[in-house]
């Protein structure tokens, strides 16, 4: 064995999974001339056999892939569309033979913003090829060690390439090597214990199956219910202490993944950690899904005993960064994995761009973005608090999903669309306000637990319908005209309009929940009145901030390119061809 010294890079990315590949493309697109290298033991052709969880993406992940990475056409041509999320609870847990044996929340129309479900192995294979063509260096090897020197001192990456050991030098290291935790272990940066994740302690078992008889799920005929496919949604199925997904993962082989997230205090690992046990679990609790997997060709089974972990630091002042599963992973109910990756990648690129350019505020950005992403990870985990008790209760869970979607669509999505997460000043305001919102949501979770204990039914809340609160409100409807007027430049999307509405309708939902669940006493309880008025206060304060924002931006066009085109169009004169 001998050691070889190779060129110096601006950035070395460890691992070319979903996160690492997306990061490299983003760096190459945003920072002309940047010198980037990727290292992974897998070549493109190896990835074919490297089964990965199918990535169901919500709107943020899809906007990131398509708009930010410029992959609209590629995604349409090679991957599957996603028609929102559907949710199903058995009417009687002992009778789950068919889909009709369930109560549903069906997505009833194609959502305004596209989302997608990608075949991860194909995506990574294609992106690695594109990255190489764009000039990224690639080393097929295994990282054996890294030297994480302080500050701007060059870092060293030690790579095993077959029998050869090479040493690479770089200014920045991004660890996206998944659950190898190369940087995480070296820096004692990881938090695995459930007490660091709001008590969430869950594992996952899943299978890939090809060519299933999809009529067993749905025959596609629903002329009075919906204007979109039910099959090409992310379908969620519930039971006590667990939920399951069905995600179509491949357009060519008709492959799907079916998996469960199970809470250990209800379903221990030993009950579900082999394919036989998983199938027996399906047969006993979700016969329709058992029939579905048995109708196709089983491809592969996986088990992961612990799904959640997070990191204390995401982006270090010492120029190392943790990304994707190397940084954190959550219960995948809301596809927070790819949302987190989208926020992280754009943050990392901006930090590296500012540092390479020697900008004075680079460290301020690094610190703010790190705080935002650490907080986002905490919130994504918080959304899973007390779930084990509530998942199987259709009424309670439907209210919970409604509330959570209000904040995902009403705040997280506009923050992403308007790139507000790249504005340190906005991040400071966001971090100040987040604990009070989290406190109210935590209180709601506690109250939902009481409703589960009482076994009451307070109705089924449907996130897609506009006839449940008032003013035609639905959580999924944009509260600002950022789509119709293409407000995609930084800070053009009016995040305050969405936040104001979200506070206001959360206050309405909150008081309605107290009324339906606990009657007059619930509405008038001091704690509940305090929460109600603090939500209204949040709405009023945000309205004040919105006025300032509108004043400051009144001369800024909603979209600069459209404004320019309209200006040019003043010179347009029709010229007859004849």
Candidates 2-10, 325-333, 530-538, 548-556 — which segment interacts with ligand FAD by CB under 6 A? 325-333
Helix (H, G, I), strand (E, B) or coil at 315: strand
Contact between 352 and ligand FAD (CB under 6 A)? no
Of positions 12, 17, 59, 493, contacts ligand FAD by CB under 6 A: 17
For the record, the structure tokens of 290 come out as 């058992």
Q: CA-based Rg of the chain, rounded to a whole angstrom?
A: 24
Candidates 93-101, 211-219, 328-336, 342-350 — which segment interacts with ligand FAD by CB under 6 A? 328-336
C-beta of 296 vs 324, nearer to ligand FAD: 324
Contact between 16 and ligand FAD (CB under 6 A)? yes
Question: Whose structure tokens read 């204990």?
Answer: 453
Contact between 184 and ligand FAD (CB under 6 A)? no
Strand 55-56: give its sheet, edge to edge. Answer: 55-56, 115-118, 80-82
Q: Distance between CA 264 and CA 270 in Å, rounded?
A: 10
Query: Residue by residue, what is the 3-state secondary structure of 410-448?
Result: HHHHHHHHCCHHHCHHHHHHHHHHHHHHHHHHHHHHHHH
Q: How far is the CB of 47 from ligand FAD (least distance, A)?
A: 8
Q: How far is the CB of 141 from ligand FAD (least distance, A)?
A: 7
Residue in 413, 426, 433, 448 with CA at minimum distance from that of residue 518: 448
**With contact defined as beta carbons under 8 Å apart, do 207 and 301 qualify?**
yes
Distances (CA, A) of 420 to 317, 368, 432, 489, 495: 22, 12, 15, 10, 8
Contact between 55 and ligand FAD (CB under 6 A)? yes
First to last CA, the chain: 77
E strands within 305-430?
Answer: 310-311, 320-322
Contact between 230 and ligand FAD (CB under 6 A)? no
Contact between 324 and ligand FAD (CB under 6 A)? yes
Candidates 9-17, 220-228, 386-394, 527-535 — which segment interacts with ligand FAD by CB under 6 A? 9-17
Burial of 123 (0-12, 13-18, 19+ CB in 10 A): buried
Contact between 216 and ligand FAD (CB under 6 A)? no
Q: Which residues of 243-255 are buried (b: 16+ CB within 10 A; e: fewer)?
A: bbbbbbbbbeeeb
Contacts with ligand FAD by CB under 6 A: the residue count is 38
Q: How far is the CB of 13 from ligand FAD (least distance, A)?
A: 9
C-beta of 69 vs 499, nearer to ligand FAD: 69
Residue in 79, 63, 50 with CA at minimum distance from that of residue 22: 63
For the record, the structure tokens of 443 come out as 């209180």
Of positions 108, 156, 167, 180, contacts ligand FAD by CB under 6 A: 180
**Binding track over 417-456 against ligand FAD, x by CB under 6 A:** ----------------------------------------
Of positions 148, 299, 304, 539, contacts ligand FAD by CB under 6 A: 304
Q: Distance between CA 173 and CA 195 in Å, rounded?
A: 29
C-beta of 262 vs 355, nearer to ligand FAD: 262
C-beta of 19 vs 173, nearer to ligand FAD: 19
Of positions 12, 42, 403, 458, contacts ligand FAD by CB under 6 A: 42
Q: Distance between CA 143 and CA 39 in Å, rounded?
A: 7
Contact between 44 and ligand FAD (CB under 6 A)? no
HSE-up (13 A, CA, CB side) for residue 248: 23
Contact between 132 and ligand FAD (CB under 6 A)? no
Candidates 209-217, 279-287, 320-328, 531-539 — which segment interacts with ligand FAD by CB under 6 A? 320-328
Q: How many residues does the chain have?
A: 578
C-beta of 54 vs 248, nearer to ligand FAD: 54
**Beta strands at 3-14 and 164-175: parallel, antiparallel or unpaired:** parallel
Candidates 54-62, 413-421, 432-440, 453-461 — which segment interacts with ligand FAD by CB under 6 A? 54-62
Q: Distance between CA 24 and CA 130 in Å, rounded?
A: 10
Which residues between 143 and 162 bind ligand FAD (CB under 6 A)?
Answer: 143
Which residues between 522 and 561 bind ligand FAD (CB under 6 A)?
Answer: none
**Binding track over 252-271 against ligand FAD, x by CB under 6 A:** -------x------------
**Binding track over 185-214 against ligand FAD, x by CB under 6 A:** -------------------x-x--------
**Contact residues for ligand FAD (CB under 6 A)?**
14-20, 39-42, 52-57, 61, 142-143, 176-178, 180, 204, 206, 247, 259, 304, 307, 324-326, 329, 332, 335, 337-338
């Amino acid at each position: 064995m001998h050691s070889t010294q190779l060129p110096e890079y601006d950035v070395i990315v460890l691992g070319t999974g979903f996160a690492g590949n997306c990061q490299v493309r983003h760096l190459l697109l945003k920072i002309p001339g940047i010198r980037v290298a990727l290292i992974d033991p897998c070549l493109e052709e190896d990835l074919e056999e490297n089964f990965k969880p199918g990535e169901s993406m919500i709107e943020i992940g899809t906007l990131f892939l398509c708009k930010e990475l410029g992959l609209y056409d590629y995604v349409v041509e090679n991957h599957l569309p996603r028609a929102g999320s559907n949710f199903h609870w058995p009417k009687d847990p002992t009778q789950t033979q068919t889909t009709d044996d369930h109560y549903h929340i069906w997505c009833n129309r194609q959502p305004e913003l596209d989302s997608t479900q990608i075949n991860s192995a194909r995506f990574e294979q294609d992106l690695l090829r594109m990255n190489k063509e764009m000039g990224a260096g690639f080393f097929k090897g295994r990282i054996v060690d890294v030297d994480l020197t302080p500050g701007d001192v060059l870092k060293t990456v030690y790579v095993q390439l077959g029998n050869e050991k090479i040493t690479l030098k770089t200014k920045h290291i991004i660890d996206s090597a998944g659950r190898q935790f190369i940087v995480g272990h070296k820096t004692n940066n990881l938090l695995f214990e459930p007490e660091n994740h709001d008590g969430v302690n869950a594992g996952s078992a899943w299978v890939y199956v090809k060519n299933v008889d999809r009529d067993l799920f749905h025959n596609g005929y629903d002329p009075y219910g919906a204007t979109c496919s039910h099959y090409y949604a992310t379908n969620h199925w519930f039971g006590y202490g667990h939920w399951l997904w069905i995600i179509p993962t491949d357009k060519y082989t008709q492959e799907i993944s079916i998996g469960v997230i199970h809470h250990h205090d209800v379903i221990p690992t030993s009950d579900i950690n082999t394919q036989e046990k998983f199938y027996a679990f399906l047969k006993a609790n979700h016969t329709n899904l058992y029939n579905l997997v048995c109708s196709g060709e089983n491809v592969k089974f996986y088990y992961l005993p612990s799904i959640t972990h997070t990191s204390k630091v995401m982006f270090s002042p010492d120029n190392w960064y943790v990304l994707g599963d190397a940084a954190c992973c959550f219960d995948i109910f809301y596809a927070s994995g790819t949302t987190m990756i989208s926020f992280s990648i754009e943050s990392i690129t901006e930090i590296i761009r500012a540092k390479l350019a020697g900008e004075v505020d680079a460290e301020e950005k690094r610190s703010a973005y790190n705080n935002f992403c650490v907080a986002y990870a905490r919130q994504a985990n918080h959304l899973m608090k007390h779930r084990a008790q509530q998942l199987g209760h259709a009424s309670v869970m439907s209210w919970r999903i409604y509330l959570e979607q209000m904040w995902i669509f009403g705040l997280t999505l506009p923050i992403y669309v308007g790139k507000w997460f790249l504005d340190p000043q906005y991040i400071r305001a966001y971090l100040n306000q987040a604990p009070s919102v989290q406190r109210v949501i935590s209180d709601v979770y506690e109250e939902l637990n009481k409703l589960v204990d009482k076994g009451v039914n307070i109705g089924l809340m449907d996130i897609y319908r506009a006839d449940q609160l008032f003013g035609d409100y639905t959580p999924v409807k944009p509260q600002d005209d950022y789509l119709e007027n293409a407000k995609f430049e930084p800070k053009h999307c009016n995040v305050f309009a969405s936040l104001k509405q979200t506070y206001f309708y959360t206050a309405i939902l909150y008081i309605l929940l107290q009324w339906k669940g606990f009657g007059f006493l619930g509405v008038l309880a001091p704690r509940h009145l305090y929460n109600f008025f603090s939500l209204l206060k949040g709405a009023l304060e945000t309205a004040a901030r919105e006025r300032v924002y509108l004043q400051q931006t009144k001369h800024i066009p909603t979209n600069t390119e459209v404004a320019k085109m309209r200006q040019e169009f003043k010179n347009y004169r029709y010229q007859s061809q004849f």
